[in-house]
Homo-oligomer: A and B are copies of this chain.
Amino acid sequence: MGRHREFDVDTALDAAMRVFWRKGYEGASYADLTAATGVERPALYAAFGNKEALFRRALARYYERYLDYLPEALAQPTARRVAAHLLHGAVDLNTRYPDHTGCLGINGVLAGSDDAEPVRQALIDARAAGEALLRERFDRARAEGDLPETARSDVLAAFLTAVLHGMAVQAKAGFSRDMLMAVAEHALSTWPTGGSAPSDPAS
């Protein structure tokens, strides 16, 4: 009894998910959502509840649809291959779609609405500037012999900032200082040695 829904719920959810992926939670307005889904506002409310519920549904769908490499990775036979599968899967996902860079779970609150774009760009620029300083410093280090000739300073700088930003996210999630310090120590444990200067175990 009663009329049936005209739009496909799954299709609409996919479209909504892509909006959240691109603009984040607060950055995605209902104007964006209705435009992307082709579904009017009250119909979205009827089908999904409020905005938060819609976002949670979209997040769940993201996990099962795009984070499928996570259970794949966990099924790998060795820990190293688990890590490798995870890292490569993340690289792939982060760069597969040119207009959905990064990961919904992070962009979800790292991205913002459209008119916050200049601010976001300023932050990105500041980041890039810091990373460039690091890269130049590592270039000098290689020239001075305390990095091996084969070391890639751009990779080292990118790796370091990746760990730094990952730690910042973790701190926001409530990680203890000890845990963060252990993460930092592990990151250091991979530091290349073998230049003309001896490896340096200090602090």
Chain B residues with CB under 8 Å of A110's CB are: 106, 109-110, 169, 172
Segment touching B, from A5-13, A29-37, A182-190: A182-190
Contact partner, A109, options B91, B119, B184, Cβ 8 Å: B119
Chain B residues with CB under 8 Å of A79's CB are: 137-138, 141-142, 146-147, 156, 191
Chain B residues with CB under 8 Å of A39's CB are: none
With contacts A137-B82, A184-B87, A200-B80 known, is A165 near B158, CB below 8 A? no
CB of A15 within 8 Å of the partner chain: no
- The binding surface of chain A is classed by DSSP as helix
Q: How large is the interface on A (under 10, 10 to 19, 20 to 34, 35 or more residues)?
A: 35 or more
- How many angstroms between the C-alpha atoms of A124 and B175 in the bound complex? 11
Q: Is B203 a contact of A88 with CB atoms below 8 Å?
A: yes
Q: Is A87 a contact of B162 with CB atoms below 8 Å?
A: no
Contact partner, A166, options B78, B119, B146, B161, Cβ 8 Å: B161
Q: Is B119 a contact of A167 with CB atoms below 8 Å?
A: no
Q: Is B25 a contact of A119 with CB atoms below 8 Å?
A: yes
Chain B residues with CB under 8 Å of A186's CB are: 155-156, 159, 190
Q: Is B109 a contact of A177 with CB atoms below 8 Å?
A: no
CB of A43 within 8 Å of the partner chain: no
Which 5 A-B residue pairings sit nearest by Cβ, starting from the closest? A190-B190, A162-B166, A79-B141, A166-B166, A94-B171
